[in-house]
Structure 1
């Protein structure tokens, strides 16, 4: 585990999956991340690469050949090369190998750069195309934040918390069918930009959103002043997910999305797929500020 720290935050990141596992305020000892309890969901903040969500029949076609990938791809289960740049920054890098090329026929480099600045942690994704042809990929974040915070579990329930959107007054949810995007949508009305958390929200899996106008969501509680602000830029899709009874909520900006139920499985025609020319670099980032 690599640990980053300053006077405001301590962040612990594991080389497996380059996964952020703890985000602690050293003054209060409050950990803002989910505990990773495997009885509910044994991950903390996996990176989704080279796909986001589920492929139809777990299969895609590229250059006439079929390939198989599990939901959310393979990067979250691979060990990254970890480099501590400074007390407040670290870089985690994954490169293609014979195992990845058997299921994803591209030469690539995927790096996650973590940086602490005062009370904010930023995670930057850096994708490089090391192959001779156009590279096709998706990428997404999946951080799980503790709800309620462990320190306040005696005085706050899950339903005392809400998500505050900086621009939206309603959400259009694209419903999932067996992990794929269906033709059915549902409008979720917000109360002055607030969505109160409850287990019923996730009874039919994640809230999948497209073209969200927001760039910030806050997690707040009606019983105490602590929470967090989550920000992102240039991610056209967003997921919100939780497991009933587990005590977390995931805020997930995506460049990519699960296959539609009507998708013909051609990789280049996949909704949300990103293309990257040979030798080119692609970046996106998200950040979380704790209060």
Structure 2
């Protein structure tokens, strides 16, 4: 009986889009509405067996890090909780472990909602998050709508943290239009930018990344031995965090509206006024 109950609870937390065995998406309601797996034509694009921290998480109200978990907004100082990842900074926002509710669903699309109705100590603002996933003939679209439910303006940056599977990272290519990379200090906080020349003809090979780049366009392409993927941000997410995990079975390609520590640096930081809504779309197209 206990096993059946556990299985039922697991089913209740997962939403599946698509009615084919070889093309589908799964979304986990209890992990911030993150996509748990994406399979397209029998190709595993996002692997449901991955165990990376924050895999596919939606990053709000801040992407990446807030230095020493402290910031000031409108002349008021706030302190967030530090992350277990490094015990120094706040990392990847506040919604990655929240439970979303299903508002509407059909075979190819689902709309999820989360309402922040209590004031968080380090981010005492009220907001609503709507996520709309749509499985398309050529990939997946994710729309994120953020509404300010508070009586005051709220600061934010936004990101997405998908890990894309590859059978051979050595022979995979990351293609993007960039000429600047952020340099970071010992606690991974950006200190300055450096000019770079990014070659789209070189394989990833043995190179390792945990870097943020400033993008000149709204598209990034990943070519693996198994598939080609184009990730488009609308409006353009100006920054991209790239991370290669130690097992080298995947690569994290993370579009962000701001680099790390935007709550303090102000770089890319945006503000939502009361009752206003900010909309961000990401489209994954697969060949």
Answer whether TM exceeds 0.5 for this pair.
yes
Which residue of structure 1 aligns with residue 179 of structure 2? 171
**TM-score computed with the length of structure 2 as normaliser:** 0.83
Structure 1 alignment gaps of length 5 or more: 149-156
5 Å-filtered alignment, 1:1-291, equals 1-5=14-18, 9-15=23-29, 16-25=31-40, 28-38=41-51, 41-62=52-73, 63-69=75-81, 70-98=90-118, 100-148=119-167, 157-165=168-176, 168=177, 171-177=179-185, 178-183=187-192, 185=194, 187-190=196-199, 193-202=200-209, 206-210=210-214, 212-221=215-224, 223=225, 226-233=227-234, 234-259=236-261, 265=264, 270-291=266-287
| Structure with the larger RCO, 1 or 2 (CA within 8 Å, 6+ apart) | 1
SS of the residue 1:57 aligns to: helix
Which residue of structure 2 aligns with residue 152 of structure 1? none
The offset of 1:244, in angstroms, is 2.5
Alpha carbons 1:120, 1:289 under 8 Å: kept: yes
SS of the residue 1:189 aligns to: coil
Q: Give the whole-Å Cα distance in 1 for the aligned partners of 2:266 and 2:193.
A: 19
SS of the residue 1:253 aligns to: strand
Q: Deviations over 1:189-215 (max 9, x none)?
A: 30xx3352234332xxx22112x1222
Alpha carbons 2:111, 2:132 under 8 Å: kept: yes
SS of the residue 1:258 aligns to: coil
Q: Please tell me the root mean square deviation across aligned C-alpha atoms, in Å.
A: 2.2
The offset of 1:107, in angstroms, is 1.1
Q: Give the whole-Å Cα distance in 2 for the aligned partners of 1:232 and 1:36.
A: 26
**TM-score computed with the length of structure 1 as normaliser:** 0.82
Change (3 A) 1:215 1:65: closer
SS of the residue 1:141 aligns to: strand
Q: Give the whole-Å Cα distance in 2 for the aligned partners of 1:184 and 1:283.
A: 28
Higher mean displacement: 102-111 or 5-14: 5-14
Q: Give the whole-Å Cα distance in 2 for the aligned partners of 1:256 and 1:187.
A: 19
The offset of 1:36, in angstroms, is 4.6
Structure 2 alignment gaps of length 5 or more: 1-13, 82-89
Q: Deviations over 1:230-256 (max 9, x none)?
A: 111321211111213231111111112
- For this pair of structures, how many residues does the alignment match? 261
The offset of 1:272, in angstroms, is 1.3
Which residue of structure 1 aligns with residue 9 of structure 2? none
Alpha carbons 1:6, 1:118 under 8 Å: kept: no
Higher mean displacement: 107-116 or 229-238: 229-238
